[in-house]
Chains A and B, each alone.
Chain A
Amino acid sequence: DADVTQTPRNRITKTGKRIMLECSQTKGHDRMYWYRQDPGLGLRLIYYSFDVKDINKGEISDGYSVSRQAQAKFSLSLESAIPNQTALYFCATSDLRAGGNLIEQFFGPGTRLTVL
C-alpha cells in the first residue's frame, strides 16, 4: 500500500463549486504539504502544516483553505472553484524527526483537477 494517498485521483467540477481534496499518510510524519503544478511548470507551495495545531500559508494560498484533521490527514479545499485552479495537486510529507538537515519530502500520486 502507498504511504501517501490522495483522493480523488481525478476530478472535474464546475466554476463556483466547493471541492475538497484529501491526503492521508501512513508514514507517521509530522509535516504535511499541499502543492500545485501547472503544465510545464514546477511545483508551487499552497499550504503546509508542521503538526495538527500548526497551519502555514505558502506561496499561493489565496482561494484555498486547509484542514489538518489528524496527524495523518491533511485536506485542501477550494471554496469556490475557478478555471485557473485547474492543475495537478500534490500532497507531501516529511519527518521532523529525520535528524540532521535531511529534508526529504514524500509525495502522493497527485490529483488532477479540472474546473470548467
Chain B
Amino acid sequence: LAKTTQPISMDSYEGQEVNITCSHNNIATNDYITWYQQFPSQGPRFIIQGYKTKVTNEVASLFIPADRKSSTLSLPRVSLSDTAVYYCLVGAAIFNKFYFGSGTKLNVKP
C-alpha cells in the first residue's frame, strides 16, 4: 500500500480557499487518489477521487500533477462547518483496501 504524508493541521478563516497537499511518492500505476472528510465522532465521508490532472465536484477540486507523486485538495470559500479532519488515501479499486494515515485537521475560524 502506498503511504501518504499530509500536514498535521491547518488554520483558515471563513470565506477563504483552502488547499491541503498530500505526498504519495510510492503511488502505483493502478492507484487512484481519494479524499475523505471526518467530523468528530462520525465515520469518514467520501469527498472526491481522481487519477490525474484535475477533478471537480460540488464540494471540492482535486489537482494531481503529471508525476502523480502529490495531490492537492482545494476547498473553495470554507465555512465553519468545514472544520474537520481530511484524509488523503491512495489505492486501487481492485484491492479496495486503503491506508488512512493521520489526516489533516482543518480548523476554520470566524
Please report A residues at the B interface, Cβ cutoff 8 Å.
4, 31, 33, 35, 40-45, 48, 50, 56, 58-59, 88, 90, 92, 94, 96, 98, 100-110
B43: chain A residues at CB < 8 Å are 4, 90, 92, 107-110
Encode B71-110 as 1/0 by CB contact (under 8 A) with A: 0000000000000000100011100111111110000000
- Given A42-B87, A42-B100, do A101 and B32 touch, yes or no (CB 8 Å)? yes
Complexed CA–CA distance, A90 and B45 (Å): 12
7 extra A-B contacts, CB within 8 A, seeds A101-B32, A103-B92, A109-B42: A35-B100, A45-B97, A58-B97, A101-B51, A102-B93, A103-B91, A105-B46
Enumerate B36-61 residues with CB–CB distance to A below 8 Å.
36, 41-46, 49, 51
Q: Is the CB of B103 within 8 A of A103?
A: no
CB of B55 to closest CB in A, whole Å = 12
Q: Is the CB of A104 within 8 A of B49?
A: yes
B34 contacts partner chain A, Cβ-Cβ < 8 Å: yes
A94: chain B residues at CB < 8 Å are 96
| Interface size band for B | 20 to 34
Q: Is the CB of B93 within 8 A of A44?
A: no
Nearest A residue to B43 via CB reads A107
B34: chain A residues at CB < 8 Å are 103-104
Complexed CA–CA distance, A110 and B4 (Å): 24
Q: Is the CB of A100 within 8 A of B46?
A: no
B45: chain A residues at CB < 8 Å are 107
- Given A101-B93, A103-B32, A103-B49, do A44 and B100 touch, yes or no (CB 8 Å)? yes
B99: chain A residues at CB < 8 Å are 59
B36: chain A residues at CB < 8 Å are 105
Nearest B residue to A108 via CB reads B43
A59: chain B residues at CB < 8 Å are 99
Interface centre among A45, A92, A101 (most CB of B within 10 A): A101
10 contacts between A and B (CB under 8 A): A33-B97, A40-B102, A43-B100, A44-B100, A56-B97, A92-B43, A101-B51, A101-B92, A103-B32, A103-B92
Say which residue of A48, A56, A107 sits within 8 Å of B44 (CB atoms).
Answer: A107
